A and B are shown apart, each in its own frame.
Chain A
Amino acid sequence: QVQLQESGPGLVKPSGTLSLTCAVSGGSISSSNWWSWVRQPPGKGLEWIGEIYHSGSTNYNPSLKSRVTISVDKSKNQFSLKLSSVTAADTAVYYCARVQGCSGGSCYSRAYWYFDLWGRGTLVTVSS
């Protein structure tokens, strides 16, 4: 079955750029799904960062849009996150997730979409 695995540095300096990659195994990133990043600060709730389609189309959370870039590498079956100008407030567990918009042979508008598969997450600490 499809699995997601995040990777990247666990420590980033303030004002630097956080870079993570999500490897998709057991399936193709060029499927009909979108692919997302979600983060969770220690002891806090979930926050959606953004998403990408295999064509390269992206959508970002407006609160992070100025600092976020999500890209896809179809040859490696993976997608990546870059978050610039990080501060301690960006310290969090970062998850990659598959967005599901279809079920039972039918596909739905975005208002129906949800995250049906998650990676295990990776903790990124912003500290000097």
Chain B
Amino acid sequence: SYELTQPLSVSVALGQTARITCGGNNIGSKNVHWYQQKPGQAPVLVIYRDSNRPSGIPERFSGSNSGNTATLTISRAQAGDEADYYCQVWDSSLYVFGTGTKVTVL
């Protein structure tokens, strides 16, 4: 089965840039979606189809996807960006989620 690997944690200073990676075999050929999940809350879509932002998601959130790595970038990180982030793709007739990354804003 297809696996998506994310770093367990990423730390970023307030106002700086955080990059969260999602590794998978030739993931650049797939459509990658990203979700933000704050403690005790449901996931929220922040990026769809590699680099598209849903309405209401700040421009500070951006995405890219190439080769074996997709990346979610959070610019000018704020305290409210502290959350778990999951990538997701469709492969072999099922939706696959990444292992998740905890983002801490220092």
Could you list which residues of chain A lie within 8 angstroms of chain B, going by C-beta atoms? 36, 45-48, 59, 61-62, 95, 100, 103, 110-116, 118-121
Contacts and interface: CB of A to CB of B under 8 A. Distances in A.
Interface string B64-106: 0000000000000000000000101010011111111000000
Contact of A48 (B30, B94, B100): B94
Contact of A59 (B49, B88, B93): B93
A38 to B, nearest CB: 8
Interface in B29-73: 30-31, 33, 35, 41-45, 48-49, 52, 54
B49 A48 contact: no
A120 B97 contact: no
B49 A112 contact: yes
A119 B100 CA distance: 20
Q: Which one of A48, A62, A95, A115 has the highest number of Cβ atoms from chain B below 10 Å of its Cβ? A: A115
Interface of B: 30-31, 33, 35, 41-45, 48-49, 52, 54, 86, 88, 90, 93-100
**DSSP class of B's interface residues: helix, strand, loop or mixed?**
strand
Contacts of B95: 36, 48, 113, 115
Contacts of A62: 93-94
A125 B95 CA distance: 24
Contacts of A110: 90
A103 B94 CA distance: 21
Contact of B88 (A114, A118, A120): A114
B43 A114 contact: no
